[in-house]
Amino acid sequence: MITRDLDAFSAAARNAASDFGPATAHAAFLVAPDGFSLAEQSAQDNAYMADAAAFDAARASAQHRELQRAISRVVPAICFAGNPETPDAVFPNNVFGTAAGRYVVGRMRHPVRQREATRGDIRAFFRDVLGRREIDLSAQASPCELTGALVIDRARGLGFCGLSERCDEAGARLMHEAFGLRATLMFDLAAGEYHTNVVLAVLAGRAAVVCPRGFADAAVADAIAHLYAPHAVVCSDAEHAAFAGNCIALSQDSVWMSAAAGAALTPAHRQVLADAGLRLETVALDAIEAAGGSLRCCIGEIY
């Protein structure tokens, strides 16, 4: 099922067993911020990006290296070299995604990001080293920026796909099929939002972080929060702006977000995560966040 019908999706989601697959990834991959700088094309529809003067390549590189070191405590984490011609490549989860036995290559909206999909080394890693079958969506017409646009509950096989200039309905359907999901809900993001994973996270199949201001229809945010209640963090505008929604569970007992996001999270919301059995881990990423994404955007998952 892939639908805009909130009631139909909610009914299917409530009945979906937690047997679709592992709730968290087996490993993670990153791409180094080599040549880290403002991507003018991406800035056209990413309101979170800072101006060029705020980009500090050396600080971004050091923080990214610390991110890899930190998450490697809970999951194997490999890092591919960056490329100055692809300044947004530090956010690889938009371009490469995985599911059991396969890997998916997304279709990026902006030409500067479309270059990332041509990387032979990353494709060869999935194809030749891991033996994954390729599903290549990069050459078709509809934008579908993978797990930037599509937040997935891997335990239950549920997709939450926010539509924007980075993903249309046709792209959502292609991703639903590529990841083999049981049910996907399509909905419009609020004006000015570019990716779903900035306003929504599903954590280890049993908790959610929802930023209502990022949804065009508040009823969608409410329904998702209800689906994961009582383990649903409903973010304030301040938490949203600090990238609290851009978080990820990398193990059954840990949730990761940037240090700025963690500092913005209220004590009550920290307790919601703790009650769900999720230990909060943070890494300083203010330099990376100048590029309009945060911790979750930096992490590609290997299932």
**One CATH from 2.30.110.10, 3.75.10.10, 3.40.50.300, 3.30.420.40 for 2-302:** 3.75.10.10
At 292 the pLDDT is 85
Q: Give the per-residue SS3 of 183-218.
A: EEEEEEECCCCCCHHHCEEEECCCEEEECHHHECCH
At 35 the pLDDT is 76
| Count of residues making up the chain | 303
pLDDT tens over the chain, length 303 residues: 999 999 999 999 999 999 999 999 999 999 999 877 655 565 466 666 555 566 788 899 999 999 999 999 999 999 999 988 887 889 999 999 999 999 999 999 988 889 999 999 999 999 999 999 999 999 999 999 999 999 999 999 999 999 999 999 999 999 999 999 999 999 999 999 999 999 999 999 999 999 999 999 999 999 999 999 999 999 999 999 999 999 999 999 999 999 999 999 999 999 999 999 999 999 999 999 988 899 999 999 999
CA 298 to chain centre: 8
154 touches 169 (CB < 8 A): no
